[in-house]
């Protein structure tokens, strides 16, 4: 058995970033920017008023000063003339500040009669002008790689980047295995159950940018599993679920081996998730997850999501953790790293009593996976422990 961190580095060695493709800005949210985004304009492109008011010369600002209004500047419509001594231009938020003016008095600080304005008494030093290029200049970049958030999309739009180079969504083929499985919505016979973790895993991976394809459930026979692997050969990553243990019907490893899989590792010192395997099947990276629903979902979170992030051009790194205080005392941990379903209440982390790896109800209720390192000693309430948010 290898450690979780060794398993993760072997997995990172199996994958590389996907191709780069160009997508319209509207489809770029949640994708990973693959090349630096370059501003093809300066924003704002001109000195712009930040308020509705009057543009004039700052040196002339004093209580009760009078100005003649000689024109108007609105957003999208500049005033073409020059503001001279004693003159002002009616201006609105977002409008270019006219030549000659270097100050905007907000309209609340003026009294207007006809084409004359008089200033009030409490005008501060703030110019109410946004300088040209205050946000960014042409040539400024958004650095890749970067997972594009909504604010990034707004910034790229403002830079006039309409087409965005992103890493292609990794195509992940998911193979559920087992005679006992039927799809949700089907009627199982008395000895059957519903395939669940396939659906949870697809949802998890798609949330992180994968494009998942569910291969029809492989039955516990060599031909059925061979057919499933063959159907998955055009994927960037093959995930199998179940059939990974040592039972007579656990055929994933033998069938993959028969088809030429180069195994990278089998078995990881973790709980749940011990019978994890990985390798390369005819050049396609493959990860074999244990069948227990919680084991598969935990391995999805701890291994597959970081692998996916690397395929999306992001740095190879384990799942992010937050440190939380323990809400209860804990006995010492055994030799395997334990990923415990836990709730967070009043800022403290409370592991569930029953950690059986078949119990999806407990996983669904959990807020975090609380991570206990191998051989971690007994802990007392209040001590800090690393947790992976779910
Ligand atoms: N003698 C031993 N037995 C087992 C060991 C061991 O070390 N020695 N390890 C146990 C551990 S830990 C795990 S985890 C499981 C892993 O088993 P498999 O990967 O071979 O998975 P299966 O046997 O196919 O299924 C286990 C369990 O999960 C259910 N299952 C499978 N696929 C799905 C699915 N897509 N959706 C919902 N449920 C699924 C399946 O019906 C079984 O109940 O092995 C232990 N045994
Ligand atoms: O590792 Mo199994 O995944 O403990 O249930």
ipTM of the complex model: 0.97
Spatial contact of 261 and 194, defined as CB atoms under 8 Å apart: no
Burial 291-330 (b: 16+ CB within 10 A, else e): bbbbbbbbbbbbbbbbbbbbbbbbeeebbeeeebebbeeb
Whether ligand 2 lies within 6 angstroms of the CB of 292 is answered as: yes
Tell me: domain 4-17+168-311, CATH 3.40.980.10, correct?
Answer: yes
Q: Which ligand sits closest to the CA of 225?
A: 1
Q: Please count the other Cβ atoms lying within 10 Å of the Cβ belonging to residue 139.
A: 10
Closest atom, ligand 1, to C-alpha of 289: 19
Distance from Cα 172 to the centre of ligand 2, integer Å: 23
Sign of CA dihedral 366, 322, 310, 376: negative
Residue 244 has what pLDDT? 84
DSSP letter assigned to residue 170: P
SS3 27: helix
Residue 110 has what pLDDT? 98
Q: Residue 223 burial (CB < 10 Å; 0-12/13-18/19+)? A: exposed
Task: Tell me the HSE value of 374 on the side-chain side, using a 13 A CA sphere.
Answer: 10
Residue 315 has what pLDDT? 96
26-42+137-167 and 48-130: same fold? no
Q: Which ligand sits closest to the CA of 246?
A: 1
Q: What angle do CA 31, 171, 288 make, to 5 degrees?
A: 120
Distance from Cα 58 to the centre of ligand 2, integer Å: 73
Angstrom distance (rounded) from CA 178 to CA 250: 9
Distance from Cα 389 to the centre of ligand 1, integer Å: 25
What are residue 237's DSSP bridge partners?
172
> How far is residue 167 from each of residues 31, 203, 354, measured CA to CA in Å?
7, 19, 40
Class of domain 26-42+137-167: alpha beta
Spatial contact of 155 and 29, defined as CB atoms under 8 Å apart: no
> How far is residue 280 from each of residues 11, 37, 229, 287, measured CA to CA in Å?
10, 34, 12, 9
| Domain ranges, ordered by start, for the chain | 4-17+168-311, 26-42+137-167, 48-130, 322-389
- Give the binding-site residues of ligand 1, using a 6 Å CB cut-off: 176, 178, 180-181, 193, 195-198, 241-246, 250, 272, 274-275, 290-293, 295, 357
Closest atom, ligand 1, to C-alpha of 274: 12
Whether ligand 2 lies within 6 angstroms of the CB of 310 is answered as: no
Whether ligand 2 lies within 6 angstroms of the CB of 197 is answered as: no
Dihedral of CA atoms 214, 215, 218, 223 in degrees, nearest 10, equals -170
Residue 248 has what pLDDT? 82
Closest atom, ligand 2, to C-alpha of 292: 5
11 Ramachandran zone, left/alpha/beta (phi>0; psi -120 to 50):
alpha
User: Which phi and psi angles does 250 have, rounded to 5°?
Assistant: -90, 90
| Structural Rg of the chain based on CA atoms | 31
Query: What is the best residue among 178, 199, 276 to mutate for testing ligand 1's pocket, by most ligand atoms within 8 Å of CB?
Result: 178
Whether ligand 2 lies within 6 angstroms of the CB of 338 is answered as: no
User: Which phi and psi angles does 68 have, rounded to 5°?
Assistant: -95, 130
Spatial contact of 313 and 320, defined as CB atoms under 8 Å apart: no
What are residue 174's DSSP bridge partners?
214, 239
Q: Which ligand sits closest to the CA of 302?
A: 2
- Residue ranges of the chain whose pLDDT lies below 70: none
Residues in Cβ contact with 143 at an 8 Å cutoff, skipping those fewer than 6 apart = 36
Residue 58 has what pLDDT? 98
Query: What is the best residue among 1, 243, 266, 273 to mutate for testing ligand 2's pocket, by most ligand atoms within 8 Å of CB?
Result: 273
Q: Which ligand sits closest to the CA of 272?
A: 2
Distance from Cα 12 to the centre of ligand 1, integer Å: 25
Whether ligand 2 lies within 6 angstroms of the CB of 98 is answered as: no
Whether ligand 2 lies within 6 angstroms of the CB of 43 is answered as: no
Residue 250 has what pLDDT? 85
Question: If DSSP states are collapsed to H, E and C, what string results for 90-138?
Answer: EECCCCECCECCCEEEEHHHEEEECCEEEECCCCCCCCCEECCCCCECC
Closest CA to 338 of 324, 317, 327, 352: 352
Q: Which residue has the tokens 């958004």?
A: 142
Ligand 2: which residue has its CA nearest to atom 4? 272
The pTM (predicted TM-score) of the whole model is: 0.91
At the topology level of CATH, where does 48-130 sit? Molybdopterin biosynthesis moeA protein; domain 3 (2.170.190)
Distance from Cα 376 to the centre of ligand 2, integer Å: 19
The mean pLDDT of the chain is 97
Spatial contact of 325 and 349, defined as CB atoms under 8 Å apart: yes
SS3 364: helix
At the topology level of CATH, where does 322-389 sit? Beta-clip (2.40.340)
Distance from Cα 310 to the centre of ligand 2, integer Å: 25
Q: Where are the alpha helices (DSSP H) in the chain?
A: 4-14, 150-158, 197-207, 222-231, 252-258, 293-299, 305-311, 360-365
Residues in Cβ contact with 372 at an 8 Å cutoff, skipping those fewer than 6 apart = 330, 333, 337, 338, 340, 385
Closest atom, ligand 1, to C-alpha of 273: 14
Distance from Cα 329 to the centre of ligand 2, integer Å: 24
Closest CA to 267 of 172, 329, 362, 336: 336
């Amino acid at each position: 058995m290898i450690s979780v961190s060794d398993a993760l580095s072997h997995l990172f060695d199996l994958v590389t970033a996907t191709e780069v493709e160009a997508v319209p800005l509207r489809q770029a949210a949640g994708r990973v920017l693959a090349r630096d985004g370059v501003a093809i304009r300066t924003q704002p492109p001109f000195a712009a008023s930040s308020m509705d008011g009057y543009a004039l010369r700052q040196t002339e600002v004093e209580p009760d000063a009078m100005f003649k209004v000689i024109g108007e500047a609105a957003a999208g419509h500049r005033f073409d003339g020059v503001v001279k001594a004693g003159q002002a231009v009616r201006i609105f938020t977002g409008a270019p500040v006219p030549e000659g003016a270097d100050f905007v008095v907000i309209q609340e600080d003026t009294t207007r009669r006809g084409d004359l304005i008089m200033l009030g008494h409490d005008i501060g030093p703030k110019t109410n002008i946004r300088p040209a290029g205050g946000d960014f200049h042409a040539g400024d970049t958004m650095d890749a790689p970067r997972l594009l958030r909504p604010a990034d999309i707004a910034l790229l739009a403002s830079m006039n980047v309409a087409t965005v180079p992103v890493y292609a969504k990794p195509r992940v083929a998911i193979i559920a295995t087992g005679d006992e499985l039927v799809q949700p919505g089907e009627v199982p016979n008395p000895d059957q159950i519903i395939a669940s973790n396939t659906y949870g895993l697809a949802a998890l991976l798609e949330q992180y940018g994968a494009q998942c394809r569910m291969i029809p459930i492989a039955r516990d026979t060599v031909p059925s599993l061979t057919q499933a692997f063959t159907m998955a050969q055009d994927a960037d990553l093959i995930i199998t679920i179940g059939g990974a243990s040592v039972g007579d019907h656990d055929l994933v490893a033998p069938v993959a081996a028969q088809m030429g899989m180069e195994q990278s590792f089998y078995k990881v010192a973790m709980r749940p998730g011990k019978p994890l395997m990985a390798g390369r099947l005819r050049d396609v990276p493959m990860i074999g997850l244990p069948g227990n629903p919680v084991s598969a979902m935990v391995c999805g979170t701890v291994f597959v999501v970081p692998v996916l992030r690397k395929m999306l051009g992001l740095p190879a790194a384990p799942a992010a953790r937050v440190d939380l205080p323990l809400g209860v005392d804990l006995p010492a941990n055994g030799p395997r790293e334990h990923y415990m379903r836990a709730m967070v209440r009043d800022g403290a982390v409370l592991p569930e009593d029953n950690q059986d790896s078949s119990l999806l109800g407990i996983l669904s209720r959990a807020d975090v996976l609380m991570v206990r390192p191998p051989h971690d000693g007994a802990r007392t309430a209040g001590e800090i422990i690393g947790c992976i948010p779910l």
